[in-house]
């Protein structure tokens, strides 16, 4: 883990998490291959997601079908219009 990631993780998991706001989250995946974490999602690996000082257990899913990806993004943008500005 590089210095920047170590710093962000320390803040996100501390009482000072408010400094990051609610727009920056952190995903922690336990993996044998930390540099290829996305491959672990193919076997529905569980992870923890922390945002705004709240930690949740999550499960990732790889979506490779272009139409399904486009539909999921449109649903995300409809629910959170501000995200569409940055896409």
Task: Select the highest-mean-pLDDT range: 18-27, 49-58, 65-74.
Answer: 65-74
Mean pLDDT, rounded, for 73-80: 90
The answer to whether the Cα torsion of 26, 32, 34, 35 is positive or negative is negative
| Residues of the domain holding 65 | 3-84
**pLDDT score at 39:** 63
Question: Is the pLDDT score of 65 beyond 80?
Answer: yes
Residue 59 β-bridge partners: 46
**pLDDT for position 66:** 93
| Main-chain dihedrals φ then ψ at residue 55, nearest 5 degrees | -105, 135
What pairs with residue 27 in β-bridges? 49
Number of domains in the chain: 1
Which region holds residue 57: left if phi is over 0, alpha if psi is between -120 and 50, else beta? beta
Would you say 20 and 9 are in contact if contact means Cβ atoms under 8 Å apart? no
Is the pLDDT score of 41 beyond 70? no
Round the average pLDDT of the chain to a whole number and report it. 78
Token couple for 35: 């540099």
């Amino acid at each position: 883990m590089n210095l920047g990631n170590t710093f962000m993780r320390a803040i996100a998991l501390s009482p000072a998490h408010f400094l990051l706001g609610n727009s920056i989250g952190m995903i922690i995946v336990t993996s044998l291959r930390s540099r290829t974490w996305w491959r672990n999602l193919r076997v529905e690996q569980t992870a923890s997601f922390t945002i705004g000082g709240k930690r949740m257990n999550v499960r990732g899913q790889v979506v490779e079908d272009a139409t399904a990806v486009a539909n999921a993004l449109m649903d995300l943008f409809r629910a959170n219009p501000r995200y569409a500005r940055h896409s």
